[in-house]
Amino acid sequence: MNRGNKLWEGHRMIIPEHRAYMLAREDRQMERERPVLDEDRLEEMNRSLSEAVQEGRLVTLTVFHPLADEEVCMVPKRLKGDHLWGLALSGEAVGVRFLDIVGVE
């Protein structure tokens, strides 16, 4: 009679520390590298943001995240330090780092 691994099948378990380690390892494997933007693209994004701040116009920013890019719709109010500050559609204040912005519409 060949039981294979069935004898121990019900005795397998994963302790929470091992589960957390395996999930973190999967997340690290799925991470992407930050895209490198050329000078023309950076200049175009800078011009669009400057105009939006002056005119108080709504913009959609594509913000880099290692797992998936996020889109933020906001009315930019000021450029301060390394952040762009503005109001989101919900009315709350939002700050986005310049280094994380990969697209402006």
65 inside domain: yes
**pTM of the predicted protein model:** 0.71
51 inside domain: yes
**C-alpha to C-alpha distance for 17 and 10, rounded to whole angstroms:** 20
15 inside domain: no
Burial environment of residue 39 by CB neighbours within 10 A (0 to 12, 13 to 18, 19 or more):
exposed
100 inside domain: yes
- What are the φ/ψ torsions at residue 59 (nearest 5 degrees)? -130, 155
- Model confidence pLDDT, tens digit, residues 55-96: 999 999 999 998 889 999 999 999 888 999 999 998 999 999
Structural domain that includes position 97:
39-104
What is the domain-level CATH number for residue 46? 2.30.30.100
81 inside domain: yes
21 inside domain: no
Please give the tally of structural domains in the chain: 1
